[in-house]
Amino acid sequence: MAKGKTKNFFVWIILGLLFVGLMGFGASGLSGNLQSIGAVGDKTLSAQRYFQELQTQIRIGSSQAGRTISFPEAQSAQLPDRALQIVVAERSLDNEAAVLGLSVGDSVVSQQVLGDLNFRGFDGTFDRTTYRETLSRNGMNVREYETGLREGAARALLQSAVYAGVPDPATYGDTVAKFVREGRTFTWAPLTATDIEITLPEPSEADLQAHYDANPDIYTSLETRVLRFAWITPAMIQDDMPVDEDELRAEYDDRIDEFVQAERRLIERLIFSNDAAAQTALDAINAGDTTFPQLVADRGLSLEDVDGGDVTLAELGDAGAGVFASQTGDVSGPFMTDLGPALFRMNAVLAAQNTTFEDALPDLREDQSAARARRVIEDQIDPITNLLAGGASLDNLVDQTDMILGNLDYTNQTTNDIAAYAAFHDVAATQDVSDFPELADLDDGGLFAVDVIEVRAPALIPLDDIREQVVAGWEAQETTAAVIAAAESKQAQLMSAVQDFAFLDLNAIQDNNITRRGFINGAPRSFLTDVFEMAIGDVQVLPNGAGAIIVRLDAITAANTSDEAYTAEVAAVAETAGEGIALDIYELYSRTVQLRTDVQVNEQARNAVHTNFR
């Protein structure tokens, strides 16, 4: 890629966005006659531009929240201040561009106006009446709008001068590429408890106490929430739901395409311009000169592009008999289709399916009873909500509805019964002891309400209560220590006289020229980082879960600077870094311009703009 190409492209994106950003068409206009909320240098701080930017910030905030946020919420999130900062930054650059004498000609402004689809009439060409009316609806006139375009273009020229003036740091790109493409050749072998003989003594009380004291995190309970809850799900009541045989028959008839399906074929279809071309292609396949996938690839297509799915004999039309008579993998044709002559490859036979009403009856009955159960539960939402609003306890709910009472000692690892529902987790993890139960939905149509009785903070569990767990932990610790000791013994031998891993009964693997981006299956994440810090000939023992890895560095390979991939990486890294530096310089420049530019904001006028959002 040519130097600066991406950066220049980025600059023109900024230019385009500036022109588009001046529009704001489609947003509601600012009511009243307020024109300005202040000044930045010699430039007026437009009330309409501030209004539009505040609209944009609130729209972004609403999108992030997943709902429309109110203006008080926007104020709490400091969105008005953010909108003001953006508008002041723009006008600071506009003022700086004017001081420097930067501007654009009428032809640039005219090009933007004439090219805007918002200003076109019914015949698709620019219409001056539509132009004026559109601007008027958005709180602008022609002079203001075209001045904004001219100032935006001048501001973009100023921005592009900053961006384009920063060269890509080629030395940095070269350094990074050499670093990441440098390779290591090493021999390594895993060692586990099954590879050595380990006989552990019975742990003494002192051993267990020492292990217990050294590992409080392991033996500390999770935060536990003591919960009472009332809940109901469709599965709890659907067996009691009546079913209507006539409705089941009607349901079967409505879903007949699901229960009764004709024999089908999975096919791929390749269209040709004429019969001769299709026949020539088929002859080449039959002669072994090409294959159907190769024909597809030669056309610049993928097999997904020619996938015809599963089709019936009738759906294939004239091609039906031939395709249905072919064997799996056969290519047949050419057959005429709506798009022209085609070759078909048949990939699989899907047998006919004929599920009778009697066979489908269990599924139909279950579907209907489940649907009725969901409706019954849905009808209980308002009564249950009213009961809770009136101060009813969970016991009252159970007495007056179909809900069932339950108790649970909940932690963030509890997943049984109601805790299998994500909605329950959300409520159980956040509700406080002082909160009143509220009705919430389960994803299968069920309902629940939770009462938090007590929240037990994490606490160290007494040793006597978990003695077996502590014994197991001590044994695991000592087993790992024995494996590490055995590995260190073999390490010492490899560093002295023994060079062959196999001589030490190690199942060794040699990986060649592995870069820092590599992955070694069976090794910990930090493995390559540790290997790259070793010197040639070094042998190290690295922990690997309950086992260990013995590794020897055999060779260091420098990056191949003549490789095309290396050259491309140097350019890409340098270009990315150059863009980042340019952005940083631009941000510093923009801040400097703002600091030396006098800014006056009329808070009363600004608050008048805010009234449009209340």
Look at the alpha carbons of 382, 383, 388, 394 in this order and tell me if their dihedral is positive or negative.
negative
24-43 tens-digit pLDDT: 454 455 555 678 899 999 98
Tell me what pLDDT residue 142 has: 87
Q: What is the pLDDT of residues 390-405, one digit of tens each?
A: 889 999 999 999 899 9
Q: How far is 190 from 485, CA to CA, in rounded Å? A: 14
Has residue 515 got a pLDDT over 90? yes
Same domain, 524 and 600: no
- Measured between alpha carbons, how far is residue 214 from residues 115, 210, 424, 458, 468 in Å? 73, 6, 36, 17, 17
Asked if residue 208 has pLDDT above 90, the reply is yes
Write out the two tokens for 132: 């004026």
Comparing 32-36, 154-158, 217-221, which segment has the lowest mean pLDDT? Answer: 32-36
The answer on 506 and 371 residing in a single domain is no
Smallest CA-to-CA distance from 581 within 7, 175, 153, 177 is with 7
Report the alpha-carbon distance of residue 43 to residue 183 in Å, rounded. Answer: 58
In a domain, 580, yes or no: no
> Residue 16 — pLDDT band, cuts 50, 70, 90?
very low
Q: Both 511 and 552 in a single domain?
A: yes
Q: Is the pLDDT assigned to residue 354 strictly greater than 50?
A: yes
Q: Which domain holds residue 314?
A: 263-351
Give the residue from 398, 426, 456 where a domain finishes: 456
The 10s digit of each residue's pLDDT in 307-336 is 988 888 888 888 888 889 999 999 998 999
* Domain boundary pick from 409, 433, 456: 456
Decide if pLDDT at 268 tops 60.
yes
In a domain? residue 80 = yes
Residue 570 lies in a domain: no
Torsion of CA 577, 578, 584, 588, to 10 degrees: 160
Residues 331, 365, single domain; the answer is no
Q: Look at residue 30 in the predicted model and tell me its pLDDT.
A: 59
Peptide linkage before 80 cis (omega within 30 of 0) = no
For residue 20, tell me if it sits in a domain: yes
- Does 334 fall in a domain? yes
Residue 243: pLDDT band with limits 50, 70, 90: confident
Average pLDDT over residues 502-526: 93
Q: Which residue has the tokens 């992030």?
A: 64
Domain match, 210 and 338 both: no
**Residue 574, pLDDT score:** 93
- Please name which of 336, 320, 224 lies closest in space to residue 274, comparing C-alpha atoms: 336
Residue at 564 is within a domain:
no
What's the rounded Cα separation, in Å, for the pair 168 and 160? 15
Residues 126 and 84 placed together within one structural domain of the fold: yes
pLDDT of residue 162: 78
What is the structure's pLDDT at 14? 46
Strand order in the sheet with 547-557: 509-515, 183-191, 547-557, 539-544
Pair 228, 342 in one domain: no
Other CB atoms within 10 A of residue 119 CB? 21
**Region 459-485 average pLDDT:** 95
Task: Average the pLDDT over each of 250-264, 369-383, 408-422 and give the range with the smallest value.
Answer: 250-264
State residue 29's pLDDT score.
54
Residue at 484 is within a domain: yes
User: For residue 34, what pLDDT is reported?
Assistant: 78
Query: Average pLDDT of 411-431?
Result: 90
String of DSSP letters for 335-372: EEETTEEEEEEEEEEE--EE--HHHHHHHHHHHHHHHH
Clarify whether residues 482 and 381 are in a common domain. no
Q: Are residues 96 and 13 in the same domain?
A: yes
Task: Give the integer Cα–Cα distance in Å for 242 and 250.
Answer: 16
Overall number of domains in the chain: 4
Burial class for 175, CB neighbours closer than 10 Å (0-12, 13-18, 19+):
middle
Beta partners for 551? 188, 540
Domain check: are 210 and 343 in the same one?
no
The Cα–Cα gap between 431 and 177 comes to: 52
- Per the CB < 8 A criterion, the answer to whether 53 and 148 are in contact is no
> What confidence tens digit (pLDDT) does each residue in 269-295 have?
999 989 999 999 999 999 988 999 999
CA–CA distances in Å: residue 360 to residues 9, 356, 494 = 61, 6, 70
Residue 471 in domain: yes
Query: Rounded distance, CA 371 to CA 364, Å?
Result: 11
Confidence of residue 466 (pLDDT cuts 50, 70, 90): very high
Q: Tell me the percentage of the chain whose pLDDT exceeds 70.
A: 95
| pLDDT-derived band at 12, boundaries 50, 70, 90 | very low
130 Cβ contact partners less than 8 Å away, ≥ 6 residues apart: 118, 119, 120, 121
Question: What is residue 237's three-state secondary structure?
Answer: helix
- Please give the C-alpha separations between residue 600 and each of 78, 80, 418, 502, 593, in angstroms, as whole numbers: 19, 16, 59, 80, 15
CATH of the domain at 318: 3.10.50.40
